[in-house]
A and B are shown apart, each in its own frame.
Chain A
Amino acid sequence: QVQLLESGPGLVRPSETLSLTCSLSGGSMSPYKWTWLRQPPGKGLEWIGYSYSSGDTNYNPSLWSRVTISVDTSKNQFSLTLTSVTTADTAVYYCAREWSSFDHWGLGTLVTVSS
Chain B
Amino acid sequence: EIVLTQSPGTLSMSPGERVTLSCRASQSVDRNYFAWLQQKPGQAPRLLIYGISSRATGTPDRFSGSGSGTDFTLTISRLEPEDFAVYYCLQYGHSPRTFGQGTTVEIK
Q: Which residues of A contact B (CB under 8 A)?
A: 44-47, 58, 60-62, 94, 98, 100-103, 105-108
Contact = CB atoms under 8 A, between A and B. Distances in A.
B101 to A, nearest CB: 5
Per CB-CB distance, the 7 closest pairs between chain A and chain B, nearest first, are: A101-B35, A47-B97, A101-B50, A105-B44, A60-B96, A100-B50, A45-B99
Contact of B56 (A58, A94, A103): A103
A102 B45 contact: yes
Given A46-B99, A94-B45, 15 more contacts: A44-B100, A44-B101, A45-B90, A45-B99, A47-B96, A47-B98, A61-B1, A62-B96, A98-B92, A100-B56, A101-B50, A101-B51, A103-B47, A105-B47, A108-B44
Interface in B53-91: 54, 56-57, 88, 90
A94 B47 CA distance: 14
B59 to A, nearest CB: 11
Interface residues of B, number: 24
A105 B45 contact: yes
A21 to B, nearest CB: 17
A100 B96 contact: no
A52 B33 CA distance: 19
A105 B102 CA distance: 18
B37 interface: yes
A22 B57 CA distance: 22
B12 interface: no
26 contacts: A44-B88, A44-B100, A44-B102, A46-B99, A47-B98, A47-B99, A60-B95, A60-B96, A62-B96, A94-B44, A100-B47, A100-B50, A100-B51, A100-B54, A101-B33, A101-B47, A101-B50, A101-B92, A102-B35, A102-B92, A103-B47, A103-B50, A105-B46, A106-B44, A107-B44, A108-B44
